[in-house]
Amino acid sequence: MEAKILQTVLTAALMFAAYDKIANFIFKLLLNRQKSFIKAEVVLNYFHAY
């Protein structure tokens, strides 16, 4: 019985760690895309004004 609980806890911890790493990666990826989009928009607006 104790082995099952230990396996369940370790599996949950591993799943949480994997989820956390995946969520951080996706967040950084989306944040970088947004920054790139904003930079491109600022440059285009600058040249469009002149």
End-to-end CA distance of the chain: 74
**Following DSSP, what letter does each residue of 6-43 receive, concatenated?**
HHHHHHHHHHHHHHHHHHHHHHHHHHHHHHHHHHHHHH
Q: Could you give the 3-state DSSP secondary structure of residue 50?
A: coil
For the stretch 1-50, pLDDT in tens is 799 999 999 999 999 999 989 988 988 888 877 777 666 676 666 666 65
Residue 11 vs residues 19, 22, 37: alpha-carbon distances, Å: 12, 16, 39
Domain boundaries along the sequence of the chain? 20-50
